Amino acid sequence: MRQYERGVVFRLGQVRTVREPGLRFMIPLVDRMRKVSLRTVTMPIASQQIITRDNVSIGVAAVAYFRRVDPVKSIVEIENVQDAVSQIAQTTVRNVVGRSLLDQVLTDTETLNESIKQILDRITQQWGVYVLLVELKDIELPQSMQRAMAREAEAEREKRAKIIAAEGEALSAGRLAEAADVIAAHPIALQLRNLQVLSEIAVEHNSTIVFPAQFLTRARELSDFVAAERDRITPRALKTWHSTEQRKTTKAGTPWTQVTGSHPGS
């Protein structure tokens, strides 16, 4: 017997003993021995069409790992262990996946794998078999469902991109408002910023730059200067005009009160 094998000895049709690895002797024509491998068996579960709980038809393939732990039961209790495990595994996968939603099948496969393993292990214990692991390895979706899921994912990405862009615009607006307040309090800061921008643009030597250096500020200063001068000169000119008119009226003999009463600027 090899190290990974056990031998179930039948003496005149009855189970006599289980032989361990090594050199073992039997009685000719009386004892018969059947070897049982205790190594782990990898059994693929063929893909099958399953309708989920939300009425979506999908193809599911899986793989199961099991091994025999009781050589006597694996021979006496069932005729072919591997075929039995394969059939019950297909049925269990179909039942478990059919009771689940499509989103659960796609995202929560670990829970489904554990559920399938527990059901198989409970059934195969009476056959002397222990199920180590069951994994859903391939899920086939209809083309229409794949396109719908792709559109959903694209829409979700666009939504997140718009939200991130809006948050960036809000932060940028706040920073620009703070910068505007600083520049309003210190006008020379705008000139320094203009010089910095010019130094950054000057890296490209093959471009012509037209830069309006404080044109609007200079125009506003000129307008303020003209208005100030007009306000300063107007009272002086009006006083001079009044003096001239008073002298003319006095020479002509007309009372000043009449002149001032009729003059539009009085």
Q: Which residues pair with 129 in a beta bridge?
A: 68
Of the pLDDT bands very low, low, confident and very high (cuts 50, 70, 90), residue 150 is confident
Say which range, 56-60, 69-73, 244-248, 259-263, has the weakest mean pLDDT: 259-263
- Say whether pLDDT at 62 is over 90: yes
Give how far Cα 17 sits from Cα of 22, 33, 48, 71, Å: 15, 10, 42, 10
Query: 141: closest CA among 43, 52, 44?
Result: 52
| Residue count (the chain) | 266
Confidence of residue 63 (pLDDT cuts 50, 70, 90): very high
Q: Who wins on pLDDT, 77 or 242?
A: 77
pLDDT of residue 140: 87
Higher local confidence (pLDDT), 161 or 234: 161
Average pLDDT over residues 148-163: 87
Q: What pLDDT score was predicted for residue 257?
A: 47
pLDDT of res. 256: 46
Instruction: Look at residue 8 and tell me whether its pLDDT is greater than 80.
Output: yes
**pLDDT range class, residue 266, cuts 50, 70, 90:** very low
Q: What pLDDT score does 263 carry?
A: 46
Residue in the block written with tokens 């394969």: 86
pLDDT of residue 234: 62
At 14, is the secondary structure helix, strand, or coil?
strand
Q: pLDDT of 95-144, one tens digit each?
A: 999 998 888 888 888 899 999 999 998 999 999 999 999 999 888 888 88
What is the DSSP-derived secondary structure letter of residue 30? Answer: T
pLDDT at 251: 54
Statement: residue 262 has pLDDT above 50 = no
Contacts of residue 12, Cβ cutoff 8 Å, sequence gap at least 6: 30
